[in-house]
Amino acid sequence: MRRIKIQLSYDGTDYHGWQIQPGLATIQGTLEEVISGIEGKPVPVAGSGRTDAGVHALAQVAAFTIDNPIPVDNLARAMNRLLPRDIRVTRAEEAHLDFHPRFEAKAKTYEYRIFRAEICPPFERRYVYHHPYPLRVEEMIAAAPLLEGEHDFTAFAASDERDELGVSKVRTIFCSRIAQEADRLIYRVTGSGFLKHMVRNIVGVLLDVGKGNVDHARVLARLEPGCLVPPGPTAPARGLFLISVEYY
């Protein structure tokens, strides 16, 4: 029995997110179909987290257990031959039998890309949020670090089936920054973990800061325990990328 850890990159445009959903194309479901075919029996695949429908990944991490003795390099090649072209395994390695890509992750980094020019090139449209309207960019840049630290992010999280379990929505953000690069605004955030729609809701609030609808004090108020401000606005999924998962 072998535990295999893989790193993969995917274009999430044509998928209904990471998690398996009956009758819908998902990243997890596609991987399980391919790996199960190689193994000759059903093989469940665990991921480091659930990306939303339309969200992309440069370095998602997943793991599965197989008996097949195929060397990891050959396994990666076999998977890439069978996977659709918008999903690629970029690395495969042996892991300890109890390895879980979600529970052992120490930090994750996401990047959100906003395209600011009047005309969005057709080859960019699947991977950026096109927002050619006026923004107070300096205010956004100053607001982004306000999210750093340990906070209750309830006001930035969409409802989730785990809410009924009373799971804590406290998370630690290690770094939250916006940079302007030519016609793009790039928001990059690293944290201990992220809630459903959390990054997209943060971006939506930062855009509201740029529009002059929300000031810095109201951003901080959303981080107060018991804040009743509803989450959102939610930025579109297509601008969001999972950049890396760290295990230290």
Final residue in a domain of this structure, among 71, 95, 119: 95
CA–CA gap between residue 161 and residue 137 (Å, rounded): 35
What is the distance between the alpha carbons of residues 39 and 53, in angstroms, rounded to a whole number?
28
**How many domains does the structure of the chain reveal?**
2
Whether 14 sits among the annotated catalytic residues: the reply is no
Q: 61 and 89: one domain?
A: yes
Give per-residue pLDDT as tens, 126-160: 999 999 999 999 999 999 999 999 999 999 998 77
Per-residue pLDDT tens digits for 42-88: 999 999 999 999 999 999 999 999 999 999 999 999 999 999 999 99
- Do 112 and 214 belong together in one domain? yes
Residue 113 confidence (pLDDT) above 80: yes
What integer pLDDT is reported at residue 107 of this predicted model? 97
* Range of the structural domain that residue 149 is part of: 107-246
Shared-domain flag, residues 111 and 181: yes
Residues 148 and 178 in one domain: yes
* 63/139 same-domain check: no
Same domain assignment for residues 77 and 125: no
So what's the pLDDT on residue 161? 65
Looking at the fold, whether 156 and 227 belong to one and the same domain comes out as: yes
Q: Which of 11, 14, 52, 208 is catalytic?
A: 52
Q: How many CB atoms lie within 10 A of CB 93?
A: 12
Q: What is the mean pLDDT of the chain?
A: 95
For the purposes of burial, counting CB atoms within 10 Å of the CB of 186, is it exposed (0-12), middle (13-18) or buried (19 or more)? middle
Q: Determine the 3-state secondary structure of 135 from DSSP.
A: coil
Give the domain CATH number at 208: 3.30.70.660
Inter-residue contact 155 to 208 (CB < 8 Å): no
